[in-house]
């Protein structure tokens, strides 16, 4: 084409922006498939719009912009609730209100742009769709290396809807992890709209998927029931204080907060001891759990408070309490401590993966938005071997979202305890998305999880991800449940992220024509 016939740079910009409108709206619509809505029928239509934008693009750059727009819409809507954390301190950070959701979406959008561009190296149709799904999943997994990691809302979590249907559909994560489920989800979403045969094939895959999930779920039900008599599997008392975040920040009445937790703990431990005494079989040890930063001080340095807690929780074997801690380097840690029946510190765990922009501030940000200069991370997952208890793996809040990185692979625990404070994000989708991650970790690792949340949802999941009881959002109270025994290590627990990575590489390989063909990078 001659110089005269070429569109001007301004016109190319206008055409690019115009082509981004459809993918932007499609990405925003796809966010409605995330918890708690799970509107999965939207997903094929959303990806259909994106794939058409990729196919119609004249260059890889234009395809990348379509993917960028889709990713921006997906994450801007999916993470809308981040604004709530700023509104709590709006008097100080009012100017920052527009940035959390939009800023995160801008940072995450390139992870959708890369697969949109690179998938054009193969022909349009099922090959391009499958390659796109493989690249999307690999890029999604790559978010582990973004700042301290931000793997929130993988598309595989769309299947973790509440109830029995969700129990069945999430069982494959025991074999392939949530990222493997993301790969399968995107493959179905991009290929089913292609033609009738693809739609029928996708329907068959879903039937087989549900059948295998049901077989595993119900097959393990009897196994868990038989194993539940393990004498060292505890009865947990999850204490949900329901303290508003404004009250925690102001620290206006720390004594009242402490007394509330003491009262609830006493109530729960008395009831738990009575229930274990009446139960047939061996009595379970009782463990009380307070949420993230529930103790309004530095518990490790407050022997008087620890003795008060121990007296209040008389009859319990141990306690797990969220608190701040000052390390030997004089830096703050977001921690959880284990107390024995006398109130002595028996175990300490420092949160290893901190929330970017919340608990630590990336160096490139010119303005200080993290109060107090932020936290210092701990060394990583570990297992506590507390007196009279089966081994437990502690997790603090955010770090439960990291598939394949929640247990010590060399010292596998028998159960997991997750303490959290989702009050920052209000009664929104955020805490429900967080809850879905907790459930998926239970199935991936084959371990029961007890989760204590300040304002909810506090919950106990068995090793199949089945809900054994919960305290809903905004409720003050205690949840008492006997934990079932763990399941044997799942394939994912043994091999971790190597499984979904291998599946992605295999999917990518089968899409390439194994004989010379023309280039598909342009105009196809």
Specify the pLDDT at position 225. Answer: 54
Closest CA to 413 of 234, 201, 184, 279: 234
Higher pLDDT, 50 or 251: 50
Output the six-digit token pair for 128: 């391009």
Q: If DSSP codes are grouped into helix, strand and coil, which group holds residue 295? A: coil
On whether the CB atoms of residues 164 and 174 are closer than 8 A, the answer is: no
Closest CA to 445 of 480, 412, 398: 412
Mean pLDDT for the stretch of residues 53-63: 93
Mean pLDDT for the stretch of residues 154-182: 97
Dump pLDDT digits (tens) for 447-471. 999 999 999 999 999 999 999 999 9
Q: Is the dihedral of CA 105, 108, 110, 114 positive or negative?
A: negative
Higher pLDDT, 424 or 364: 424
In sequence order, the β-bridge partners of residue 315 are none
Burial class of residue 5 in the structure, from the number of CB atoms within 10 Å of its CB (0-12 exposed, 13-18 middle, 19+ buried)? exposed
Instruction: Look up the pTM and report it.
Output: 0.92
On whether the CB atoms of residues 62 and 13 are closer than 8 A, the answer is: no
Domain positions in the chain: 9-219+498-510, 230-484
Specify the pLDDT at position 226. Answer: 46
Specify the pLDDT at position 474. Answer: 96
Closest CA to 174 of 405, 447, 492, 400: 492
Residues 359, 375: Cα–Cα separation, whole Å: 6
Residue 133, pLDDT > 60, answer yes
Q: If DSSP codes are grouped into helix, strand and coil, which group holds residue 421? A: coil
On whether the CB atoms of residues 55 and 64 are closer than 8 A, the answer is: no
Residue 522, pLDDT > 60, answer no
| Contact partners, residue 33, CB within 8 Å, separation at least 6 | 39, 40, 42, 43, 155, 158
Specify the pLDDT at position 221. Answer: 76
Specify the pLDDT at position 514. Answer: 65
Residue 518, pLDDT > 60, answer no
Mean pLDDT for the stretch of residues 413-420: 98
293: left (phi over 0), alpha (psi -120 to 50) or beta: left
On whether the CB atoms of residues 285 and 234 are closer than 8 A, the answer is: yes
Mean pLDDT for the stretch of residues 204-211: 97
Split at pLDDT 50, 70, 90, the class of 359 is confident
Residue 280, pLDDT > 80, answer no
* Per-chain mean pLDDT for the chain: 90
List the CATH code of the domain at 230-484.
3.60.110.10
Q: If DSSP codes are grouped into helix, strand and coil, which group holds residue 11? A: helix
Dump pLDDT digits (tens) for 383-397. 999 999 999 999 999
Dump pLDDT digits (tens) for 184-203. 999 999 999 999 999 999 99
Residues 76, 108: Cα–Cα separation, whole Å: 9
Specify the pLDDT at position 281. Answer: 59
Dump pLDDT digits (tens) for 295-349. 999 999 999 999 999 999 999 999 999 999 998 888 899 999 999 999 999 999 9
Residue 6, pLDDT > 60, answer no
Place of tokens 């087989």: 208
Split at pLDDT 50, 70, 90, the class of 19 is confident
């Amino acid at each position: 084409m001659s110089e005269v016939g070429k569109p001007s740079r301004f016109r190319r910009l206008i055409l690019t922006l115009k082509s981004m409108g459809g993918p932007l709206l499609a990405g925003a619509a796809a966010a409605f498939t995330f918890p708690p809505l799970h509107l999965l029928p939207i997903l094929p239509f959303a990806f259909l719009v994106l794939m058409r934008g990729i196919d119609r693009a004249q260059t890889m750059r234009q395809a990348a912009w379509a993917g960028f727009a889709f990713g921006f819409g997906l994450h801007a809507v999916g993470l809308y609730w981040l604004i709530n954390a700023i509104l709590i301190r709006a008097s100080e950070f009012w100017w920052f209100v527009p940035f959390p959701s939009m800023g995160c979406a801008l940072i995450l959008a390139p992870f959708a742009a890369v697969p949109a561009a690179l998938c054009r190296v193969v022909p349009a149709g099922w090959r391009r769709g499958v390659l796109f799904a493989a690249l999307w999943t690999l890029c999604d997994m790559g978010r582990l290396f973004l700042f301290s990691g931000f793997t929130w809302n993988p598309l595989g979590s769309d299947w973790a809807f509440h109830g029995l249907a969700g129990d069945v559909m999430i069982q494959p994560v025991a074999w392939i992890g949530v990222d493997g489920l993301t790969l399968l989800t995107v493959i179905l979403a991009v290929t089913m709209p292609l033609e009738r045969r693809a739609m029928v094939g996708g329907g068959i895959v879903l039937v087989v998927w549900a059948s295998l999930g049901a077989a595993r779920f119900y097959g393990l039900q009897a196994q868990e029931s038989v194993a539940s008599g393990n004498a060292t599997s505890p009865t947990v008392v999850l204490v949900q204080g329901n303290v508003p975040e404004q009250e925690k920040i102001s620290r206006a009445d720390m004594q009242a907060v402490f007394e509330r937790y003491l009262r609830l703990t006493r109530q729960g431990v008395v009831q738990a001891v009575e229930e274990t005494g009446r139960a047939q079989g061996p009595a379970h040890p009782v463990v009380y759990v307070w949420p993230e930063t529930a103790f309004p001080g530095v518990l490790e340095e407050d022997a008087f408070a620890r003795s008060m807690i121990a007296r209040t929780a008389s009859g319990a074997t141990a306690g797990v309490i969220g608190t701040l801690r000052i390390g030997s380097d004089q830096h703050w840690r977001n921690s959880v401590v284990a107390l024995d029946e006398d109130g002595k510190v028996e175990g300490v765990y420092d949160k290893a993966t901190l929330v970017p922009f919340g608990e630590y501030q990336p160096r490139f940000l010119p303005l200080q938005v993290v109060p107090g200069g932020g936290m210092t991370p701990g060394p990583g997952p570990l297992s506590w071997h507390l007196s009279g208890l089966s081994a437990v793996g502690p997790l603090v809040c955010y770090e439960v979202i990291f598939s394949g990185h929640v247990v010590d692979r060399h010292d596998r625990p028998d159960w997991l305890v997750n303490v959290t404070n989702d009050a920052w994000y209000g009664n929104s989708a955020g805490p429900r998305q967080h809850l879905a991650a907790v459930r998926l970790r239970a199935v991936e690792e084959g371990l029961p999880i007890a989760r204590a949340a300040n304002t909810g949802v506090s919950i106990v999941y068995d090793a199949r991800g089945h809900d054994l009881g919960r305290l809903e959002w905004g409720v003050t109270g205690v949840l008492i449940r006997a934990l079932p025994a763990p399941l044997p290590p799942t394939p994912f627990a043994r091999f971790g992220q190597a499984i979904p990575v291998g599946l992605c590489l295999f999917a990518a390989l089968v899409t390439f024509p194994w004989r010379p063909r023309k280039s598909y990078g342009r105009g196809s």
